[in-house]
Amino acid sequence: MDMEKIEEEIRKCRKCNLWKSRKNAVPGEGNYSADLMVVGEAPGKKEDEMGRPFVGKAGQILNEIFEENGIKREDIYITNVVKCRPPKNRNPLYDEIKACFPYLEKQIELIKPKLILTLGNFGAKVIMELYGFKAYSITKMHGKIFDSPLHQIKILPTFHPAACIYNPLLKEKLYNDIKKLRDFLK
């Protein structure tokens, strides 16, 4: 199955209850052969309205930091662990993550990224466990590059940009973590 078909399937998906409250599922977007894949948590209000990932305030912060580090959105693939917005932006539930996970797994399989940047606790937990790493809280894991030679992949967990909107200190940490991608992308 190719990526366009997966994205189409996600747009019609009803595998968990989140389809009932969503306006649009948000499959992800970007370069299908990207070296860098970004995995967030779940779509927010703006993303739900537009059916596109990271287009709200958190997305603006991310774009700003990417731009400062020479990373172009069109060169990367960006998606979330859960493809539909949880009501009132609550955390995704275990069953929702489980139901949605095969889509993310398939997306990774097709893109074959060299590095996955995870944003926030849920993104980090799902991706770290997928590659056999033990996941700790994001405050302990952020900014470290975890290397899995077996899967030929590296993982860099960092904070979710939504958490940085009113927290300049956290934003600085997010910036410093993403800065580490500069050398990788050279």
- The dihedral sign for the CA sequence 164, 169, 174, 179: positive
Closest distance to ligand SF4 from the beta carbon of 83 (Å): 4
Taking CB under 6 A as the binding criterion, the range among 10-18, 69-77, 125-133, 143-151 that sits at the site for ligand SF4 is: 10-18
Place of tokens 């960092």: 158
Q: Return the structure tokens found at 148.
A: 């899995």
Residue 5's region, left for phi above 0, alpha for psi from -120 to 50, else beta, is alpha
Contact range with ligand SF4 by CB under 6 A, out of 69-77, 95-103, 109-117, 141-149: 95-103
Binding ligand SF4 (rule: CB under 6 A), the pick from 15, 46, 57, 180 is 15
d(CA 63, CA 69): 10
Residue range at the interface with ligand SF4 (CB under 6 A); choices 49-57, 59-67, 93-101, 161-169: 93-101
- β-strands 153-158, 146-148 pairing: antiparallel
Position 100 contacts ligand SF4 (CB under 6 A): yes
- Residue 131: C-alpha distances to residues 17, 128, 139, 159, 185 (Å): 27, 5, 20, 19, 21
Instruction: Pick the binder of ligand SF4 from 62, 76, 81, 82 (CB under 6 A).
Output: 82
Q: Are 100 and 82 in contact (CB under 8 A)?
A: yes
Residues in binding contact with ligand SF4, number by CB under 6 A: 14
Does residue 13 interact with ligand SF4 by CB under 6 A? yes
- Interface residue with ligand SF4, options 34, 55, 59, 83 (CB under 6 A): 83
Q: How far is the CB of 28 from ligand SF4 (least distance, A)?
A: 11
Using the Cα atoms of residue 42, residue 157, residue 185 and residue 178 in order, give the sign of their dihedral.
positive
Q: Would you say 21 or 137 has its CB closer to ligand SF4?
A: 21
Q: Which of 15-23, 43-51, 65-73, 171-179 is the region at the interface with ligand SF4 (rule: CB under 6 A)?
A: 15-23
